[in-house]
Amino acid sequence: MNFPICNHTAIFLAARTEMTEQQAAKLWCVKSGAIRIDTLAPEATTAKPSFLRLALKGDLLGVERLAAVPDQLRLTAITPSCLSPVNLAEEQQWQQCVLQALLSAHQRHREAIALRCGTVEERVRRLLQLLADAEQDQAGTDLACTLPSLGNMADILLSTRETICRALTHLRDTHLLEDQNPSHMKRRRLENRSHLIRNIQALQ
């Protein structure tokens, strides 16, 4: 579905940037990047935020707030992201928006469950495929992907930073993951850098 978008008021979020309360109160369409959606615990508890799902290119953000859903959500970019506001002037547009959001959220919830099943390397592969597929207009065997931080990946995949790092290193050693900036290969940090996923079918 094509939503009425105002490109001139789009916002750009750097990786690890959390949306403000004012921003989160509006309706947005993800144009690029990936947004992590967490549920916040009630103020009386000390529980950590719980990962709910990802929002990727084409997904809507803010429907829960507009529908008065009582859950408190935190929206954070895990890779550099661009969001465009959606203007719904007619009731029919609103109904279509809600239907699209429900279908998208259902799919993202299924993906979130899959991201926590199997070995850690399998989970990493699924996440990389999701992020790469979301940014591509055409299918191919080699896809570009910006890696989230190790902390974000550990939370999303229900693992540890050390285990995630070992899985990424193994993918690089087997040439399934390649740094797109060879001049920076001496840097130890893999996160928030553009990589090329070789032979995407091998990750499936």
pLDDT for 102 equals: 86
pLDDT for 177 equals: 86
Task: Return the bridge partners of 73, or none.
Answer: 39
Structural contact between residues 19 and 75, judged by C-beta atoms closer than 8 angstroms: yes
pLDDT for 48 equals: 83
C-alpha distances out from residue 183 to 58, 75, 178, 179, 186, Å: 33, 33, 12, 9, 8
pLDDT for 101 equals: 86
The single-letter DSSP state of residue 90 is S
Residue bearing tokens 């947005």: 28
pLDDT in tens, the chain (204 residues): 555 555 458 999 999 999 999 999 889 999 999 999 999 877 656 678 899 999 999 999 988 877 777 778 999 999 999 999 988 766 677 788 888 888 999 999 999 999 999 999 999 999 999 998 877 665 556 778 889 999 999 999 999 999 999 999 999 888 888 876 655 544 445 555 667 776 544 445
Question: Domains of the chain by range and CATH?
Answer: 7-114 (2.60.120.10), 120-203 (1.10.10.10)
pLDDT for 198 equals: 66
pLDDT for 145 equals: 84
Contacts of 138 (CB under 8 A, 6+ apart): none
76: left (phi over 0), alpha (psi -120 to 50) or beta: beta
Token reading at 19: 């949306």
DSSP structure string for 107-152: HHHHHHHHTTSS-HHHHHHHHHHHHHHHH-SS--SSEEEE---HHH
Q: Which amino acid is at 104?
A: S
Structural element, H or E, at residue 194: strand 194-197
Task: Give the separation between CA 77 and CA 51, rounded to whole angstroms.
Answer: 13
